[in-house]
């Protein structure tokens, strides 16, 4: 279990990050998004930019790579086209 504390060793309340995120969104007037959705967006962006899946697993704190793969290995249309292009190069020779 993860415990996060302040500089004095006092544990944060479980909803402290959510409250901070809500205040941040109001202050900056950015699009409303749940904090957990931001985590998914980050992982999906890293995946689409070609970041190694083991690196993504480590950053997300998943103990098992299967969790990361099952959640984030969806294939986008762009990624599918990229895979087709890789083999297409060899057919044109």
Closest CA to 6 of 20, 25, 22, 23: 20
Segment 73-84, tens digit of pLDDT: 776 677 778 888
Tokens of 60: 């997300």
| Helix segments in 29-74, DSSP class H | 35-48, 53-60, 65-72
In a domain, 12, yes or no: no
In a domain, 50, yes or no: yes
In a domain, 78, yes or no: yes
Which of the two residues, 26 and 11, has the higher pLDDT score? 26
Segment 12-21, tens digit of pLDDT: 887 888 898 9
pLDDT-derived band at 93 (thresholds 50, 70, 90) equals low
In a domain, 31, yes or no: no
In a domain, 64, yes or no: yes
For position 89, what pLDDT does the model report? Answer: 84
Residue 54 to residue 60: CA distance in whole angstroms? 10
Domain that includes residue 63, residue range: 36-91
Tokens of 77: 């249309």
Closest CA to 66 of 76, 79, 53, 77: 53
């Amino acid at each position: 279990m993860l415990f996060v504390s302040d500089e004095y060793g006092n544990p944060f309340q479980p909803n402290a990050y959510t409250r901070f995120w809500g205040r941040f969104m109001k202050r900056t007037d950015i699009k409303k998004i749940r904090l957990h959705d931001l985590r998914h967006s980050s992982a999906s962006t890293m995946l689409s930019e070609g970041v190694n899946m083991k690196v993504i697993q480590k950053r997300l704190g998943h103990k098992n790579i299967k969790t990361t793969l099952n959640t984030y290995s969806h294939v986008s249309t762009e990624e599918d086209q990229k895979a087709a292009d890789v083999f297409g190069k060899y057919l044109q020779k």
